[in-house]
């Protein structure tokens, strides 16, 4: 994964932000919409694309585009930087493949320890009962 190449493939769109800001908010477009076309990306391999499609299925559009919004600050440039950082962190965390679990079975000694412990427990509890008179 080449960060510079991926950042070049990003598309940005400035939108008017909602919320507080007074008269200034009506004149400037500080909210940033970041779009990334996962299907036509040249920076990612086919395996990486498949993994991202699987993990980011809820965040992707029908055309396999990832859309992120950022309107944390009143500065368009800071919002752009924040959205890029957020996007790269999202890719990095979702490209990690989990280790395959190797099924193991308990060792013979641990099985014997468990059996011995259970016998001791059952004897301890059996001794608490009232003795039966036959």
Which phi and psi angles does 94 have, rounded to 5°? -90, -5
Distance CA 77, CA 82 (A): 9
Model confidence pLDDT, tens digit, residues 95-111: 888 889 999 999 999 99
Q: In what order do the strands lie in the sheet with 65-70?
A: 11-15, 31-37, 65-70
Q: What is the pTM of this model?
A: 0.68
- Four-CA torsion 70, 75, 80, 86, nearest 10 degrees: -50
- Four-CA torsion 38, 41, 43, 44, nearest 10 degrees: 50
pLDDT at 22: 67
Tokens of 89: 């962190």
Give the pLDDT band (50/70/90) at residue 124.
Answer: very high
Domain boundaries, the chain: 3-94
More confidently predicted of 98 and 32: 32
Distance CA 17, CA 57 (A): 27
pLDDT at 102: 93
Radius of gyration of the chain (CA): 29
One CATH from 3.30.160.20, 3.40.800.20, 1.10.3720.10, 3.40.1180.10 for 3-94? 3.30.160.20
């Amino acid at each position: 994964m080449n960060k510079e190449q991926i950042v070049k493939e990003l598309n940005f769109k400035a939108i008017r932000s909602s919320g507080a800001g007074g008269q200034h908010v009506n004149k400037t477009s500080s909210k940033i919409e970041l779009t990334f076309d996962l299907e036509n990306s040249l920076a990612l391999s086919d395996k990486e694309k498949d993994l991202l499609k699987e993990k980011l299925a809820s965040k992707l559009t029908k055309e396999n585009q990832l859309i992120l919004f950022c309107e944390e600050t009143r500065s368009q440039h800071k919002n752009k930087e924040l959205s890029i950082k957020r996007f790269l962190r999202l890719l990095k965390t979702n490209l990690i493949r989990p280790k395959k679990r190797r099924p193991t079975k308990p060792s013979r000694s641990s099985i014997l320890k468990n059996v011995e412990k259970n016998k001791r427990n059952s004897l301890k509890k059996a001794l608490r009962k009232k003795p039966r008179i036959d």
